[in-house]
């Protein structure tokens, strides 16, 4: 077995254990393998081990990788910041975008989504722990943005995404993730029909699953430590 296959098995076991510990079904949590900075060959190995959903932050890097892997039926998620000048690449190449936090970006993605493709699946990034310089819409502004995005013809609003600061311990990680879950539930109570809460990474996936995440984005535990110097 390759190292990546072995790591994937461990991560799936972590998710299953975290889910059963809180009476959730293991398959109620989707695993997104975050392959940023890793070569197409690493993605190919993960695919051989049964992984089909991959997350990328750097849009040009991702598009190059997609071309190298066009023979595989992969689902690509954009999880990095999306500037206006990159919306066309995202709209033309990705299946999902998790990091939408402004109407202007959502509008461009909808306008630029090619007719022949399924609608772009979208999550709104929420700044759940209030960092002033962080990406993500403020929690109190999410409902209005969600309604606006839900009305765009070529997007399908699926849920929320968060990237909280690393927490000191399990309980404080759960406290932040639980706020995101409450916001998600409140939007559904307003009739938005969201099914995806994208939260939890290598360090905090157990806390995220316990707090109601439906999708965890895991890089390091699958592919190893990232080397940004050579990326």
Ligand X SMILES: *Cc1c(COP(=O)(O)O)cnc(C)c1O
What residue ranges bind ligand X (CB under 6 A)? 34, 36, 57, 79, 163, 201-203, 217-220
Separation CA 57–CA 213 (nearest Å): 20
> What's the min distance (Å) between Cβ of 203 and ligand X?
6
Measured from the CB atom, is 34 or 62 closer to ligand X?
34
189: three-class secondary structure by DSSP: helix
> What's the min distance (Å) between Cβ of 134 and ligand X?
12
Measured from the CB atom, is 163 or 173 closer to ligand X?
163
DSSP string over 74-127: -EEEE-S---GGGHHHHHHH-SEEEEE--HHHHHHHHHHS-TTSPPEEEEEEB-
> What's the min distance (Å) between Cβ of 226 and ligand X?
7
Measured from the CB atom, is 36 or 154 closer to ligand X?
36
Which residue is associated with the tokens 């990406």? 135
Separation CA 199–CA 121 (nearest Å): 16
Two structure tokens written together for 111: 């306008």
> What's the min distance (Å) between Cβ of 43 and ligand X?
14
Measured from the CB atom, is 34 or 187 closer to ligand X?
34
């Amino acid at each position: 077995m390759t190292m990546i296959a072995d790591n994937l098995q461990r991560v799936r076991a972590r998710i299953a254990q975290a889910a059963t510990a809180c009476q959730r079904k293991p398959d109620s949590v989707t695993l997104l393998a975050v392959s940023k900075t890793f070569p197409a060959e690493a993605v190919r190995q993960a695919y051989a081990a049964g992984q089909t959903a991959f997350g990328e932050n750097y849009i040009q890097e991702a598009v190059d990788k997609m071309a190298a892997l066009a023979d595989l039926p992969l689902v690509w998620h954009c999880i990095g910041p999306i500037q206006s000048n990159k919306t066309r690449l995202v709209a033309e190449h990705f299946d999902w975008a998790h990091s939408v936090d402004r109407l202007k970006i959502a509008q461009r993605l909808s306008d630029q989504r090619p007719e022949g493709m399924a609608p772009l699946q979208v999550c709104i990034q929420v700044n759940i722990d209030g960092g002033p310089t962080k990406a993500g819409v403020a929690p109190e502004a999410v409902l209005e943005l969600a309604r606006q995005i839900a009305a765009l013809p070529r997007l399908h609003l699926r849920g929320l995404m968060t990237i909280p600061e690393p927490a000191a311990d399990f309980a404080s990680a759960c406290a932040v993730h639980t706020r995101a879950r409450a916001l998600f539930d409140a939007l559904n109570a307003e009739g938005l029909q969201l099914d995806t809460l994208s939260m939890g990474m290598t360090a905090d996936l157990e806390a995220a699953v316990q707090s109601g995440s439906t999708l965890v984005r895991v890089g390091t535990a699958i592919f190893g430590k990232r080397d940004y110097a050579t990326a």
